[in-house]
């Protein structure tokens, strides 16, 4: 197997250690960065996506492949020139104030990272001003809010108001989700998008930022 084939295989298998090892060897040998990224990592993830949509790869496998790819990008990122960042967009995500549930939010964060977004995960029970501060700090493109309890959903319009008051609202897209959250509620509170599950969250994020 060539180095490139080995790299692709390791990413496909979700073996982060092996992938990083091959990538490091290739870099040490003076390999071409663009080739490693495009024909190694991205090509492997395209294959992963293809298998996932045909039902041959399940989400856990997809996430492990994404982690392997990210581990390699961790090696490569510092070597890329300033304007060659490969982030699809920057997302601030968290479960709203009063709510400690996070599995859904974690899934969205993992899948967004896997799709190439830079994700700042604020955790759970996040008050509106923390969303505002983080968005300002990283110049976020998307603010993603999650809630499992209907009683904590009011924190969502509160967070949108906080973004407005801080003058941040115009610079971000707000996306919401969670079991009791609906499209109708999203419209009512002025959110930009609603996603019913983690997979669609990635799709909506791409649409919101003008990609596809």
Q: Which residues bind other proteins (CB under 8 A)?
A: 55, 58-60, 100-101, 103, 107, 149-151, 154, 179-180, 182, 184, 197-199
Q: Which one, 112 or 140, has the nearer CB to other proteins?
A: 112
- For 13, how many CA atoms within 13 A lie in the half-sphere containing its CB? 12
Q: Distance of alpha carbon 141 from its chain centroid, rounded? A: 12
Q: Which residues pair with 93 in a beta bridge?
A: 121, 144
Which tokens hold the place of 6?
């080995």
Q: How far apart are CA 112 and CA 90, in angstroms?
A: 10
Q: Which is nearer to other proteins, 31 or 199 (CB)?
A: 199
Minimal distance, residue 97 CB to other proteins, in Å: 12
Rounded distance, CA 55 to CA 169, Å? 38
Write down the least CB distance from residue 197 to other proteins, Å: 7
Name which of 105 and 169 has its Cβ closer to other proteins: 105
Residues 24, 74: Cα–Cα separation, whole Å: 11
The structure tokens 């190439």 sit at 116
> Minimum CB separation from other proteins for residue 139, in Å?
30
Q: How far is the CB of 59 from other proteins (least distance, A)?
A: 5
Nearer to other proteins, 57 or 117 (CB): 57
């Amino acid at each position: 197997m060539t180095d490139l084939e080995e790299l692709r295989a390791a990413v496909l298998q979700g073996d982060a250690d092996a992938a990083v090892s091959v990538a490091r060897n290739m870099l040490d040998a003076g390999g071409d960065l663009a080739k490693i990224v495009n024909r190694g990592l991205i090509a492997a993830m395209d294959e992963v996506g293809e298998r996932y949509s045909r039902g041959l790869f399940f989400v856990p496998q997809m996430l492990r492949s994404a982690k392997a790819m990210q581990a390699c990008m961790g090696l490569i990122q510092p070597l890329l020139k300033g304007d060659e960042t490969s982030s699809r967009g920057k997302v601030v995500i968290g479960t709203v104030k009063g709510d400690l549930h996070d599995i859904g939010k974690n899934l969205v964060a993992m899948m967004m990272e896997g799709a190439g977004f830079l994700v700042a995960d604020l955790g759970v029970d996040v008050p509106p001003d923390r969303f505002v501060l983080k968005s300002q700090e990283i110049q976020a493109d998307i603010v993603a809010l999650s809630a499992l309890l209907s009683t904590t959903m009011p924190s969502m319009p509160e967070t949108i108001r906080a973004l407005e008051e801080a003058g941040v609202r115009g610079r971000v897209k707000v996306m919401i989700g969670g079991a009791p959250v609906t499209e109708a509620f999203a419209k009512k509170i002025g959110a930009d998008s609603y996603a019913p599950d983690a997979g669609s969250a990635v799709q909506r994020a791409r649409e919101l930022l003008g990609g596809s």
